[in-house]
C-alpha cells in the first residue's frame, strides 16, 4: 500500500513539473500557470502552501533549467 501511495505521489509531482515545462516552453502567463497548478492540487486534496511542491519546483528551476540567472 505504501509503495502504491508513493507511486501516486510521484506521478502527481511529475504531472505538475510536466505542466510547468509546457508553460515555460509556451511562455505562458505565470498567473495563469499558478491558477491551473493550484486548482489541480486542490482537486487532488493537496492544500497550499505545500512544502513538497516547493521542493519539486526549486529542484526543477535550479537543476533542470540550468541557467545562470537561477543562481
Task: Express each pLDDT in 2-38 by its tens digit.
Answer: 334 444 667 888 888 888 888 888 988 989 988 998 9
Residue 5 in 3-state DSSP? helix
pLDDT at site 35: 92
> pLDDT digit string (tens) for 40-59?
888 988 888 888 888 888 88
Cell numbers placing 22: 509546457
| Whole-number percent of the chain with pLDDT over 90 | 7
Does the reported pTM lie above 0.75? no
Whether residue 64 contacts residue 20, with contact meaning beta carbons closer than 8 Å, is answered with no
Q: What local confidence, expressed as pLDDT, does residue 3 receive?
A: 37
The domain total for the chain is 1
49: nearest Cα among 36, 61, 38: 38
User: How far, CA to CA in Å, does 18 sit from each of 1, 2, 3, 49?
Assistant: 26, 24, 22, 20
Identify the domain containing residue 45 by its residue range: 2-70
Amino acid at each position: 500500500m505504501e509503495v502504491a501511495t508513493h507511486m501516486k505521489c510521484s506521478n502527481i509531482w511529475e504531472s505538475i513539473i510536466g505542466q510547468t515545462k509546457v508553460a515555460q516552453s509556451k511562455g505562458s502567463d505565470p498567473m495563469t500557470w499558478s491558477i491551473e497548478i493550484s486548482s489541480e492540487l486542490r482537486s487532488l486534496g493537496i492544500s497550499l502552501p505545500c512544502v513538497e511542491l516547493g521542493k519539486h519546483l526549486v529542484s526543477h528551476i535550479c537543476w533542470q533549467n540550468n541557467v545562470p540567472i537561477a543562481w
